[in-house]
Chain A
Amino acid sequence: EDKVVQSPLSLVVHEGDTVTLNCSYEVTNFRSLLWYKQEKKAPTFLFMLTSSGIEKKSGRLSSILDKKELFSILNITATQTGDSAVYLCAVALNSGNTPLVFGKGTRLSVIA
């Protein structure tokens, strides 16, 4: 059974801290790994990773994929209260059906 596991489930940090969110996966026919940010609405796309070792970066957020060890991390530096959200990791499968398998998410709370 394909599965995606995120850790921690919940995290509370102070503004300015750096956080690392983890996503490990066990799937057949891996195609890509995606990170989404979900506030009080629909998930919004952050990153898509297909190759190991290549860091994707957007402002204070960055992510990297390790296809050998089957995990990805999402880093957020100098956190702000606006970073408070649920961060979802999903794996796209390279099968004919191409569904996405989602993790349960990490709830990040950034307090002032």
Chain B
Amino acid sequence: EAQVTQNPRYLITVTGKKLTVTCSQNMNHEYMSWYRQDPGLGLRQIYYSMNVEVTDKGDVPEGYKVSRKEKRNFPLILESPSPNQTSLYFCASSLLVNPLGSYEQYFGPGTRLTVT
């Protein structure tokens, strides 16, 4: 089954304790992206990657790191989490350009992070 998986699904942590949220897709997609979703602000892009070893900042990259060492994985790293990073996080992937010229992103199930 084609899917994007994220782990963990829920995480409560304390300020300053490094954490990693994993994201993996099995569709051989080039493009992967992380979003955070907050009430009243919608989905905002944190980082994205157009292929292995190619990453770039989205709209709200501060406090986050990513890596893309393999095509299927795109972990999100919070080196020193702070309470303002409490949010719902989504990983997504897509083909960069598919044969139909469309651009549909597949979303993971989400990770609800609480930083106290």
Contacts and interface: CB of A to CB of B under 8 A. Distances in A.
A41 B108 CA distance: 9
B42 A98 contact: no
B58 interface: yes
Given A97-B48, A97-B56, A98-B50, A34 B110 contact: no
A61 B54 CA distance: 37
Contact of A88 (B41, B43, B44, B45): B43
Contacts of B108: 42
Nearest to B6: A42
26 contacts: A32-B103, A34-B103, A42-B108, A42-B109, A43-B43, A43-B107, A45-B104, A45-B105, A48-B102, A48-B104, A50-B101, A50-B102, A88-B43, A97-B48, A97-B50, A97-B56, A99-B58, A100-B33, A100-B45, A100-B105, A102-B35, A102-B42, A102-B43, A102-B44, A104-B41, A104-B42
Interface of A: 31-32, 34, 36, 41-45, 48, 50, 88, 90, 92, 97-100, 102-105
